[in-house]
């Protein structure tokens, strides 16, 4: 059926009680199954799996990949097939909505594992115990849920704000269950086929899977005399370099610096193709521009100038110049400056996000009905938040003090910022589907750093706490929007969000240790393995850079880094102003340019290729409904999700296999 909604006039003139009454009579589906055992279990399993892929991609790119629509398509297809085989009743639309809410919450909860917590570990050179990670992440995430629900009645019930991402999910769900189910099965099949291809490719470029197949299953080390398994090089230029070294042939260099030292490699990374397809050509091109300027222009100049050098490691051995060293020693600073300046400028250029947010909270309609609450039996009671927010906020601050050494007074001082940041984040998500947590977290980081510069935990942990609570609250409200559109019970979605938090934490904290801090030859886990050529951790690099600027001051940086930081910040402001003046038509993004600085250039190129493929496809297949349009334009998200999930899950499996064999 067509989704029902109020007119603009009704939104402006009706009281919230009138709007609630209209929704209860016309939209609410009180008897339909929603949070059932199977929807909770399906969401928990899908959430854990998709959160793992989100962690994998986030560690590579610093970008949080949304998993809501992917979970909708997968759950729909799975239960539709089970129903056709007579093994299960068909999944209701509200069960599916609850599943996506659980899965989405699981995907969002992993953000500290690619940003603030990792930055903290890098700065203090200490691995946080797994149980401390779990407790802290669960506490701050549940605080976000509790903060969200008093705002739900204002932003969704009364103001009827759009929440574009949540609305899109509601529209997709409605279309799947009102006569376009075949389209959902088509997209699920497309996702599965692409995921199978991506998984096969990832297997043949993975040493663990090849050892398992060739040595454990086929016993080729016994009868074929093999000592090392055959692996297809995903770095395609490795074949040329192997030949060139033997033949004493030409090795490409820039200003005398080897391409390989600069990280300029040609890699076929199918997961990055999928990420590029989702981010679009403008963002991917901006990332590629940042990588080119940094690694092909500035890095060779700085190496020759002596600002990037070989250094002595903790064990006394010389550490050669590499992409990681280029980023850590010099280029991180201008990349971080560009991302921070660009994101703050972009935020300040949208004053309506601030003004409408606080007007929404403070302004009350004079004719607001004071009668009984018609939705009291399905809404989350406000007393739960009024009691829960102080309790869980205090527990979050106390664990930050106990686990990470944050002075208790500073942890408590940061708590009032939660409300301010949540209001801004929620309003931004409601209007644009963008949560400016990166920019807003710097408010807490610099505020706490100004009070205590000596302890990096004083700014990193409170900033991570406030940013994650605000982000969780905003994302929860975006998840609730499709439930409101489809007539679901808010209480069920609140419980579902908590289930998703547990799923994401239980799946991803052990995976974090497996992927990023495995035990070395001495059986010890160290922070040295967190950042690598495979996992650049760009979000953590940004957090770490700001923390080090706060702790050490700008005077500790080379003069060339300071000059470049100033130029980068100025360029970021100019770019964002041009985007504002042209109403988004200016093709570059300063935040994405800065991201390209800290990402491996081979990854940025693969993302650009993926974006270009779908950009060209959209230009070629312009007719809606045609086979090409259906596959490459309408099917863009399933294809990209298949590339990401297939490669990520097989990459995660490779790490597990390497531990076991």
At 380, phi and psi to the nearest 5?
-70, 125
Which tokens belong to 73?
């398509």
Read off the pLDDT of residues 487-511 as tens digits, 9 standing for 90 and up: 888 888 889 989 999 999 999 999 9
The H-assigned helical ranges of 258-311 are 259-262, 270-279, 281-291, 299-305
Average pLDDT, the chain: 84
Q: What is the enclosing helix (H) or strand (E) of 254?
A: strand 253-254
Mapped onto helix, strand or coil, the DSSP state of residue 312 is strand
For residue 25, pLDDT beyond 80: yes
Give how far the C-alpha of residue 147 lies from the chain's centroid of Cα atoms, to the nearest Å.
Answer: 21
The pLDDT > 90 percentage for the chain reads 26
For residue 250, pLDDT beyond 90: yes
Which tokens belong to 427?
């309003």
Read off the pLDDT of residues 50-94 as tens digits, 9 standing for 90 and up: 889 889 988 888 777 667 778 888 888 888 888 888 888 888 889
Q: Are 321 and 309 in contact (CB under 8 A)?
A: yes
Task: Say which residue the tokens 């969000």 belong to.
Answer: 497
pLDDT, position 181: 61
Q: Are 75 and 102 in contact (CB under 8 A)?
A: no
Least confident of 271-280, 397-406, 503-512, 530-539: 530-539
The model's confidence at residue 366, banded by pLDDT at 50, 70 and 90, is: very low
Those residues with Cβ within 8 angstroms of residue 351's Cβ, 6 or more apart along the chain or in another chain? none
Q: Are 331 and 298 in contact (CB under 8 A)?
A: yes
Would you tell me how many other CB atoms lie within 10 Å of the CB of residue 409?
12
Dist CA 460 CA 6 (whole Å): 43
At 625, phi and psi to the nearest 5?
100, -20
CA 24, 30, 34, 37 dihedral sign is positive
> Taking CA 437 as the corner, what is the angle to CA 129 and CA 597, rounded to the nearest 5 degrees?
85
What is residue 127's DSSP assignment?
P
Torsion of CA 236, 239, 242, 246, to 10 degrees: -150
Those residues with Cβ within 8 angstroms of residue 433's Cβ, 6 or more apart along the chain or in another chain? 163, 164, 165, 478
Mapped onto helix, strand or coil, the DSSP state of residue 306 is coil
Dist CA 446 CA 463 (whole Å): 9
pLDDT, position 251: 93
Mapped onto helix, strand or coil, the DSSP state of residue 366 is coil
Task: Say which residue the tokens 């340019």 belong to.
Answer: 593
Those residues with Cβ within 8 angstroms of residue 263's Cβ, 6 or more apart along the chain or in another chain? 295, 322, 323, 326, 533, 600, 601, 602
Closest Cα partner for 275 from 626, 595, 597? 595
Closest Cα partner for 74 from 44, 99, 109? 99
> Taking CA 85 as the corner, what is the angle to CA 84 and CA 90, rounded to the nearest 5 degrees?
45
pTM beyond 0.75, yes or no: yes
Which tokens belong to 294?
């940094």
Read off the pLDDT of residues 550-589 as tens digits, 9 standing for 90 and up: 777 777 778 898 899 999 999 999 998 998 888 778 888 8
For residue 521, pLDDT beyond 50: yes
Q: Are 401 and 408 in contact (CB under 8 A)?
A: yes
pLDDT, position 58: 86
Task: Say which residue the tokens 């899908």 belong to.
Answer: 46
Task: Say which residue the tokens 């990420």 belong to.
Answer: 275
Read off the pLDDT of residues 186-208 as tens digits, 9 standing for 90 and up: 888 888 899 899 999 999 999 88
At 162, phi and psi to the nearest 5?
-75, -35
pLDDT, position 367: 43
In the predicted model, what is the mean pLDDT of residues 455-483? 82
Helix axes 437-451 and 457-486, enclosed angle (nearest 10)? 150
Mapped onto helix, strand or coil, the DSSP state of residue 5 is coil
Closest Cα partner for 302 from 269, 324, 326? 326
Dist CA 613 CA 280 (whole Å): 10
Least confident of 135-139, 225-229, 247-251, 428-432: 428-432
pLDDT, position 365: 46
For residue 609, pLDDT beyond 90: yes
Mapped onto helix, strand or coil, the DSSP state of residue 603 is helix
**With b meaning 16 or more CB within 10 Å and e meaning fewer, what string describes 5-21?**
eeeeeeeeebbbbbbbe
Q: Are 82 and 88 in contact (CB under 8 A)?
A: yes
For residue 360, pLDDT beyond 70: no
**With b meaning 16 or more CB within 10 Å and e meaning fewer, what string describes 610-644?**
bbbbbbebeeebeeeeeeebbbbbbbbbbbbbbbb
Q: Which residue has the higher pLDDT, 83 or 402?
A: 402
Closest Cα partner for 528 from 57, 125, 58, 130? 125
Which tokens belong to 379?
């809404």
Give strand pairing partners of 267: 235
Mapped onto helix, strand or coil, the DSSP state of residue 20 is helix
Which tokens belong to 89?
């009743």
Mapped onto helix, strand or coil, the DSSP state of residue 318 is strand
pLDDT, position 351: 60
153: Cα within 13 Å, side-chain hemisphere? 21
pLDDT, position 363: 53
The model's confidence at residue 45, banded by pLDDT at 50, 70 and 90, is: very high
Those residues with Cβ within 8 angstroms of residue 304's Cβ, 6 or more apart along the chain or in another chain? 255, 256, 257
């Amino acid at each position: 059926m067509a989704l029902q909604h109020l007119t603009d006039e009704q939104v402006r003139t009706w009281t919230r009680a009138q709007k609630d009454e209209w929704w209860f009579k016309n939209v609410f589906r009180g008897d339909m199954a929603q949070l059932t055992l199977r929807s909770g279990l399906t969401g928990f399993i899908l959430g854990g799996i998709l959160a793992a892929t989100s962690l994998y991609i986030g560690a590579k790119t610093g970008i949080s990949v949304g998993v809501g629509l992917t979970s909708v398509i997968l759950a729909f297809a799975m239960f539709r097939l089970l129903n056709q085989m007579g093994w299960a009743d068909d999944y209701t639309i509200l069960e599916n909505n609850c599943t996506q809410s659980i899965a989405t919450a699981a995907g969002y909860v992993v953000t500290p594992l690619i940003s603030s917590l990792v930055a903290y570990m890098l700065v203090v050179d200490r691995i946080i115990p797994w149980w401390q990670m779990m407790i802290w992440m669960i506490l701050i995430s549940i605080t976000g849920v509790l903060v969200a629900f008093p705002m739900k009645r204002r932003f969704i019930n009364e103001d009827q704000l759009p929440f574009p991402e949540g609305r899109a999910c509601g529209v997709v769900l409605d279309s799947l269950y009102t006569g376009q189910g075949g389209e959902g099965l088509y997209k699920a099949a497309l996702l599965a086929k692409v995921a199978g291809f991506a998984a096969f490719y990832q297997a043949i470029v993975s040493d663990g899977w090849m050892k398992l197949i060739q040595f454990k299953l086929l016993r080729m080390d016994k009868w074929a005399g093999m000592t090392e398994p055959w692996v297809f090089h995903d770095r395609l230029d490795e074949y040329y370099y192997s030949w060139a070294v033997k033949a004493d042939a030409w090795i490409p260099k820039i200003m005398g610096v080897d391409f390989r030292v600069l990280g300029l490699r040609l890699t076929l990374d199918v997961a990055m193709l999928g990420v590029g397809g989702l981010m679009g050509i403008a963002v991917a091109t901006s990332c590629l521009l940042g990588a080119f300027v940094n690694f092909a222009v500035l890095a060779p100049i700085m190496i020759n100038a002596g600002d990037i050098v070989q250094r002595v490691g903790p064990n006394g051995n010389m550490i050669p110049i590499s992409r990681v060293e280029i980023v850590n020693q010099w280029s991180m600073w201008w990349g971080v400056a560009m991302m921070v300046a660009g994101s703050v400028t972009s935020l300040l250029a949208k004053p309506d996000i601030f003004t409408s947010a606080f007007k929404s909270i403070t302004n009350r309609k004079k004719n607001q009905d004071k009668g009984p609450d018609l939705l009291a039996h399905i809404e989350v009671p406000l007393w739960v938040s009024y009691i829960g927010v102080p309790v869980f906020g205090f527990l979050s601050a106390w664990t930050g003090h106990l686990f990470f050494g944050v002075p208790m007074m500073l942890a408590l001082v940061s708590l009032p910022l939660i409300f301010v940041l949540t209001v801004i984040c929620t309003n931004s998500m409601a209007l644009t589907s963008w949560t400016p947590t990166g920019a807003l977290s710097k408010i807490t980081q610099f505020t706490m750093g100004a009070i205590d510069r000596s302890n990096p935990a004083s700014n990193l942990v409170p900033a991570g706490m406030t940013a994650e609570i605000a982000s969780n609250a905003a994302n929860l409200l975006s998840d609730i929007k499709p439930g409101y559109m489809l007539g679901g019970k808010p209480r069920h979605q609140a419980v579902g969000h908590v289930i998703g938090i547990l799923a994401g934490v239980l799946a991803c904290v052990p995976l974090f240790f497996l992927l990023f801090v495995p035990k070395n030859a001495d059986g010890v886990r160290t922070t040295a393995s967190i950042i690598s050529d495979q996992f650049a951790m760009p979000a953590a690099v940004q957090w770490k850079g700001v923390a080090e600027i706060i702790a050490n001051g700008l005077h500790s940086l080379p003069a060339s880094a300071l000059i470049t930081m100033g130029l980068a910040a100025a360029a970021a402001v100019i770019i964002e102003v041009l985007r504002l003046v042209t109403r988004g038509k200016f093709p570059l993004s300063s935040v994405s340019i800065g991201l390209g600085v800290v990402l491996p250039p081979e990854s940025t190129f693969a993302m650009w290729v993926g974006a270009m493929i779908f950009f060209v496809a959209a230009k070629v297949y312009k007719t809606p409904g045609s086979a090409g349009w259906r596959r490459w334009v309408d099917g863009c998200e399933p294809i990209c999700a298949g590339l990401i999930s297939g490669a990520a899950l097989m990459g995660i499996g490779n790490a597990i296999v390497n531990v076991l064999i």
